[in-house]
Amino acid sequence: MPRSKVPRAFETKILVRSRRRCALCFGLQQLHSPVKGQIAHVDRDPGNNASDNLVWLCLSHHDDYDTRHSQSKGLTPAELKYYRQELYDFIGMQHRLLEPDRISIRLSFEARRLAQYLNTKSRTGDLFDPQVRIDGLEKELELSVLDLELAIDELAASGLLEINGSRDIIYPTNRLFWETDPIFTEDDPVSDAEAVARVLVTHPTDAISMAELASALDWSKRRLNPAASYLVEMGKARAKPTVDAVYCYGEIVRITATKRFVRDLDTGE
């Protein structure tokens, strides 16, 4: 199949998930420093730009992987996928060490169902969206009244939703999107926060508007808001408020912690 351009959203996802680490350098040599390289196609079909078919490889390993060997056994797609997952798991472990406040979601069936409902109903990926009346929700989710009550309590105890003062409406916290977007969408706000931070540290001024960030990253508001709120609420950037319902902030402001966040991710410290 003819080569086609990798969609920018998929390109960003591969670069951020791999941190520009070559999956084969990691799998074969246990090397995990950023390298110059290219996005390779696992099935060797340059026209197949599905997200799961893409991987970051150094130039040498990319050439070797795409070369047909007549005598020796070449690297297989299954082998490459295995090493890629090992690399992603390693980076995830590093990330959790850097971000000890991130919780590991272990939800009951009922709580997961409610979390998915709140996640997929949200248009902005931001606090208060959506606001859902509890009355009648059990029918929509096909849960008993007791199961719904327990699901609400479980998510509230995990900091994933809040209940209004009259206790008749629930709404997601920003943390719900940080934790459940990787489960219910193709995005990961914690990883995406790195991409936001990198734009911040290279921007000519300390502050950048959310609209400008969205344009620079070619992201929707639904993807940008959770990443930005994560960066701010974890103390790695500051924010200026907005009266616009589209974005959770008006501007994101670079601080010293933003630079430290990017440096620590690059060095693995």
- Higher pLDDT: 8 or 124? It is 124
| Cβ proximity of 154 and 115 under 8 Å | no
Average confidence (pLDDT) over 169-197 = 90
pLDDT band, residue 6 (cuts 50/70/90): confident
With contact defined as beta carbons under 8 Å apart, do 154 and 108 qualify?
A: yes
If you ran DSSP here, which 8-state letter would residue 233 be given?
A: H
Which has the closest alpha carbon to 25: 53, 76, 60? 60
Neighbours of 143 (CB within 10 A): 18
Q: Return the percent helix, strand and coil in the chain, to nearest 5.
A: 50, 10, 40
> In the chain, what are the domains?
8-98 (no CATH), 109-182 (1.10.10.10), 187-267 (1.10.10.10)
Report field, pTM of the whole predicted structure over 0.75: no
What whole-number percentage of the chain has pLDDT above 90?
Answer: 48
Place of tokens 């110059």: 36
